[in-house]
Amino acid sequence: MYTFVSILVILVSIFLILIVLVQNSKGGGLASNFSSSNQVMGVRKTTDFLEKATWTLAGTLLVLAFVAVMVLPKDQMGAAEIDEKLNTLPSQQEVPAFPTPAQGEQAEELPTEGAE
């Protein structure tokens, strides 16, 4: 079921991309290609169709996203099982200390400014 919903989400996304690309931000787009006066769909009707198609596909994509979350396979461990596995882990070892200079050795002093 999840695979079917995922395929639907991809198809709706592709259609939405195509519809948005056909539109022109200034009101032209697909409507500007039909400039003859005896066309069946007028400029306004084409723009209305593209706008309705965009909103419909966007709403469909939103609904399919929620459906995809609902049909997501529940094969993963629950919170109680995760806590149990964390409690059974072996304890971590201590971090080793940094080496320190031996007792008889002196640390090199850095030259200070102005001292020669």
H-assigned helices in 1-116: 2-22, 30-33, 43-70, 79-87
Residue 76, in any domain of the structure: no
Enumerate residues 6+ apart whose C-beta is below 8 A from 6: 68
Q: Is residue 90 part of a domain?
A: no
Q: State which residues form the domain around 29.
A: 2-69
Note the pLDDT tens digit of each residue in 16-51. Answer: 999 988 887 665 555 555 555 444 555 567 778 888
- The count of structural domains within the chain is 1
15 belongs to a structural domain: yes
SS3 74: coil
First CA to last CA distance, the chain: 80
- As a whole number, the mean pLDDT across the chain is 75
**36: in domain:** yes
Question: Is the pLDDT reported for residue 61 higher than 60?
Answer: yes
d(CA 24, CA 28): 5
User: Considering the domain boundaries, does residue 38 fall inside one?
Assistant: yes
Tell me, yes or no, whether 9 lies in a domain: yes
